[in-house]
């Protein structure tokens, strides 16, 4: 498969679940939409890929939704992503124009913009009455480790997570990808040690994807004895917002608030910007009158 895609696999007789993805195009699209500076691009891209991997691992139905929020106290503010079981993801950061000096030469200081004093919170809307929620304290602010800690701590599944985004000197996304490996009950101590050894021996995920490894080849590195491919599907940036959805949201503000907006805008267009995709939705004065009538019932 070309472009961005995700593979789902098992290994060691089904006692290990593994997922890997290439997401270069969608992370570049997020960068372009939000005009993120390099470290913010990497933070948002890693969170978006982690969301897709976790959605692949935990959503059973295509219409279920996973939301990830990271607040680490760093200059980026809040990172928020949502992913569906269909491989669609969207995301935003509070402050896209942030920078932190590199600690290691040539490596973006992701933890420097995210911060490491805060939490990672996951909400899964599985179509039940109450969504599932889990929150853990951030461990490093590098995001991959934080996802792994969440899975071990909150879902009791020992996991390895690798997420990498490479940004060029022109600040464009040149490569983005990652993997998630989950150890299930029933593995022997030797098998656990063997998987952990292969994961620890991997170069940084950014290196792997820059070297042009496909998601299947990344899994091949982790499982030299082989793995069973279950599923492959495309992943992409997608935001379900539309003028109709925003019109409905404005109706829900109530007629007093809508009147206030109409007075404030006078004869100008009312513009609403979607925080997830940065698309502008514009409503003419005539549209706003219709919305007001709808609010009046
Ligand atoms: Zn949108």
- The domain limits of the chain are 5-237, 243-295
Q: In the beta sheet, which residues pair with residue 125?
A: 65
The reported pTM is 0.94
pLDDT bracket for residue 74 (50, 70, 90): very high
Ligand 1 centroid–CA 249 distance in Å is 13
Ligand 1 centroid–CA 132 distance in Å is 24
Neighbours of 242 (CB within 10 A): 12
pLDDT bracket for residue 198 (50, 70, 90): very high
pLDDT bracket for residue 92 (50, 70, 90): very high
Ligand 1 centroid–CA 278 distance in Å is 6
Q: What's the mean pLDDT in 224-245?
A: 95
Q: pLDDT value at position 78?
A: 98
Ligand 1 centroid–CA 112 distance in Å is 28
Ligand 1 centroid–CA 275 distance in Å is 7
Q: pLDDT value at position 98?
A: 97
pLDDT, tens only, 145-189 = 999 999 999 999 999 999 999 999 889 999 999 999 999 999 999
What fold, for 243-295? CBS domain Like (3.90.1280)
Q: What's the mean pLDDT in 262-280?
A: 89
The Cα–Cα gap between 177 and 255 comes to 47
Ligand 1 centroid–CA 84 distance in Å is 15
CATH homologous superfamily, domain 5-237: Hsp33 domain (3.55.30.10)
Evaluate if residue 267 carries a pLDDT over 90: no
Q: What's the mean pLDDT in 203-208?
A: 89
Q: Collect residues with CB below 5 Å from ion ligand 1.
A: 239, 241, 274, 276-277
Ligand 1 centroid–CA 240 distance in Å is 6
The Cα–Cα gap between 238 and 236 comes to 6
Q: pLDDT value at position 62?
A: 79
Ligand 1 centroid–CA 191 distance in Å is 44
Q: Helix axis angle, 189-201 relative to 215-222, nearest 10°?
A: 130
Ligand 1 centroid–CA 274 distance in Å is 5
pLDDT, tens only, 103-156 = 888 889 999 999 999 999 999 988 888 899 999 999 999 999 999 999 999 999
Show the tokens assigned to 245: 């959805």
Ligand 1 centroid–CA 89 distance in Å is 11
DSSP secondary structure of 75-110: TT-EEEEEEETTSEEEEEES-SS-----SSTTS--H
Nearest to 238 by CA among 97, 69, 52, 8: 52
pLDDT bracket for residue 56 (50, 70, 90): very high
Q: What sign has the CA pseudo-torsion 44, 48, 53, 58?
A: positive
Ligand 1 centroid–CA 111 distance in Å is 27
Whether 5-237 and 243-295 share one fold: the answer is no
The Cα–Cα gap between 105 and 110 comes to 13
């Amino acid at each position: 498969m070309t472009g961005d895609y995700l593979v789902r696999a098992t290994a060691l007789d089904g006692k290990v679940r593994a997922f890997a993805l290439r997401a270069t195009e969608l992370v570049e699209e997020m960068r372009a939409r939000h005009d993120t500076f390099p470290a913010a691009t990497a933070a948002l891209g890693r969170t978006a890929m982690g969301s897709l991997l976790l959605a692949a691992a935990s959503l059973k139905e295509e219409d279920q939704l996973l939301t990830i929020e990271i607040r680490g106290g760093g200059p980026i503010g809040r990172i928020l992503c949502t992913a569906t079981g269909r491989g669609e993801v969207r995301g935003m950061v509070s402050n896209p124009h942030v920078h932190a000096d590199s600690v290691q030469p040539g490596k973006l200081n992701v933890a420097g913009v995210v911060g490491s004093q805060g939490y990672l919170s996951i909400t899964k809307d599985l179509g039940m009455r109450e969504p599932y929620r889990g929150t853990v304290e951030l461990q490093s602010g590098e995001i991959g480790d934080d996802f792994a800690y969440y899975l071990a701590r909150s879902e009791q599944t020992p996991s390895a997570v690798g997420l990498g985004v490479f940004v060029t000197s022109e600040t464009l996304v040149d490569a983005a990808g990652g993997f998630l490996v989950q150890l299930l009950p029933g593995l022997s101590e030797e098998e656990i040690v063997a998987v952990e050894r292969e994961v620890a021996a991997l170069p940084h995920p950014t290196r792997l994807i820059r070297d042009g490894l496909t998601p299947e080849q990344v899994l091949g590195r982790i499982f030299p004895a082989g793995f069973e491919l279950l599923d492959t599907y495309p992943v992409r940036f997608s935001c379900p917002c539309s003028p109709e959805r925003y019109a409905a949201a404005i109706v829900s503000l109530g007629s007093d608030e809508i009147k206030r907006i109409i007075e404030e805008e006078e004869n100008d267009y009312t513009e609403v910007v979607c925080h997830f995709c940065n698309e502008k939705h514009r409503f003419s004065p005539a549209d706003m009158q219709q919305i007001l009538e709808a609010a009046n019932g």
